Structure 1
């Protein structure tokens, strides 16, 4: 029995190491490619060790340093504000739905589940946000659509409240004269850090990586997020490379297009990778309890 347990432990360790390698190796290759000369990539392809070290891709990007800093500022504001407000709204909806005495609880749950399965599509959404709410070319166009699409997160948090917060604890607070808001703030939230961290991380990743809202609702360069700006830089490179190479302009045709793609991915993903370890303590627990227990 002891040998079987050791074998299963060793097998589990090997499998987890393989999964970890599958996650880490592509990112190492990504960084290496971003530091490789464009001609070396064309001649030898991608490799874990740069064939010819070059920072041309980062130099090209940071030549537009003011644009990138402004885009980072927009993205940081959208991510922080959107995450905070999104988690607040999700909590204020999920908590009443976790209480069996909430009136019309089943109807509200059905409405949330319905929005998870069906949506009106891009054209009705565009008309609502641009004509009804008049959000086009405003910073709120990058925030509001994300806040209003948290159905899955609401159900996750509701499940967590139901499975983790003892009803007797809530009843005890009510007997002591605590209001619903005081119960939520002083009793429920302090023991709900795992799910709050998990939902916050999910929401932050959504806002940080979001490019679609910017592409649809934003045309002012000063409101571009980092993802929109990097996407437009890539489109400019592709246009210049394609058109000038057809005119045999070798100097411009050898722009670091491939390495720039990799450098853009590094710039876009690095802040989230840095932030993730700080949420990891609560992240996994919140996912497991909020999604598995019923």
Structure 2
């Protein structure tokens, strides 16, 4: 009889499955909703690619189609006419994105960690400084003069990196993560074992903070990749412009020639080819622009799901 009494709670516990909280029909409903939402996100990209491989005349006459009536690569032929410039701009953008993202992630963490510690006496002062820059700025002219006349970075790759290096918003987000998610007991035990602040930061704090660091890296990657304004302001040599600014400048030139009848007549008199695939080239520019950036989120996604501080301190 005693064995029978003890068997009941065991059977009850063995039948419980914490992973299947929702019934089957609810799980299927959630899956269907997310599948439909994913399709709504993918379908516009597929349409973008299909239109970029369509004929300009067909697009202007029949509109956008998922299956092109006439397969045409004239938009890409026009876009890659100067392939060396496109390849160089691509290399500039990739280099700036990789270097800028890594430096930004490290420097944001190095600024945020001291102001997150309660034993740092000047934490409020430096927090106020970084918060103040979110509310007020010096303006475009002083911003330009600092990088051109003071730092002498005009027409260099560093001028495409430094203005976006330490975003104030992500400093505050990282500070909050350090203050709430990095266990103080782990830091104290490391100090007792003789570890210095530099070793604690790089060997303990950074590995425990991969979720927030991956978030900063992802958004900084997108920021650096999509930036074209810095090339417009600071770069005067074509060999140092980013791919986004190159696409922007190409589109502006095409629109100017398409809307300026005198320029079109001058090109016709010179015997130049004046049929510009304006609409399909805009789509081709979007396809070329997104490029490797579509691979960034899957690389960082695993760090968003589960933090590494779970189990760092034993209860």
TM-score with structure 2 setting the length? 0.83
Q: Give the secondary structure class of the aligned counterpart of 2:137.
A: coil
Displacement of 1:33: 1.0
Q: Computing the radius of gyration over CA atoms, which structure comes out larger, 1 or 2?
A: 2
Which structure has more helix as a fraction of its residues?
1
Mapping 1:61-76, distance limit 5 Å:
61-76=79-94
Q: 1:54 to 1:284 in 2, by over 3 A?
A: farther
8 Å Cα contact 1:214/1:225 also seen in 2: yes
1:108-155 residue CA offsets vs partner (Å, 9 max, x unmatched): 11221221222223222112222222222222111110114x111111
User: Within the alignment, does 1:130 sit opposite 2:151 as a pair?
Assistant: no
User: Of residues 153, 161, 164 in structure 1, which corresponds to 2:170?
Assistant: 153
C-alpha separation in 1, matches of 2:122 and 2:176 = 18
Q: Give the secondary structure class of the aligned counterpart of 1:162.
A: helix
8 Å Cα contact 1:33/1:50 also seen in 2: yes
Mapping 1:31-180, distance limit 5 Å:
31-148=49-166, 150-180=167-197
User: Within the alignment, does 1:209 sit opposite 2:226 as a pair?
Assistant: yes
C-alpha separation in 2, matches of 1:221 and 1:162 = 45
Q: 1:225 to 1:4 in 2, by over 3 A?
A: closer
Aligned to 2:253: 236
Where structure 1 has 5 or more consecutive residues not aligned to the other structure, the ranges are: 287-294
User: Within the alignment, does 1:280 sit opposite 2:301 as a pair?
Assistant: yes
Mapping 1:260-275, distance limit 5 Å:
260-275=281-296
Displacement of 1:104: 1.4
Q: 1:4 to 1:71 in 2, by over 3 A?
A: closer
Q: 1:279 to 1:28 in 2, by over 3 A?
A: same
8 Å Cα contact 1:75/1:225 also seen in 2: yes
8 Å Cα contact 2:159/2:230 also seen in 1: yes
8 Å Cα contact 1:198/1:284 also seen in 2: no
8 Å Cα contact 2:155/2:236 also seen in 1: yes
User: Within the alignment, does 1:28 sit opposite 2:49 as a pair?
Assistant: no
Displacement of 1:181: 0.7
8 Å Cα contact 1:195/1:285 also seen in 2: no
Displacement of 1:8: 4.2
8 Å Cα contact 2:112/2:172 also seen in 1: yes
C-alpha separation in 2, matches of 1:219 and 1:253 = 27
Displacement of 1:71: 0.4
Aligned Cα RMSD in Å? 2.4
Displacement of 1:284: 5.2
- Between the two proteins, the alignment pairs up a number of residues equal to 285
User: Of residues 214, 217, 223 in structure 1, which corresponds to 2:240?
Assistant: 223
Q: 1:17 to 1:199 in 2, by over 3 A?
A: same
Displacement of 1:254: 3.1
Q: Give the secondary structure class of the aligned counterpart of 1:254.
A: coil
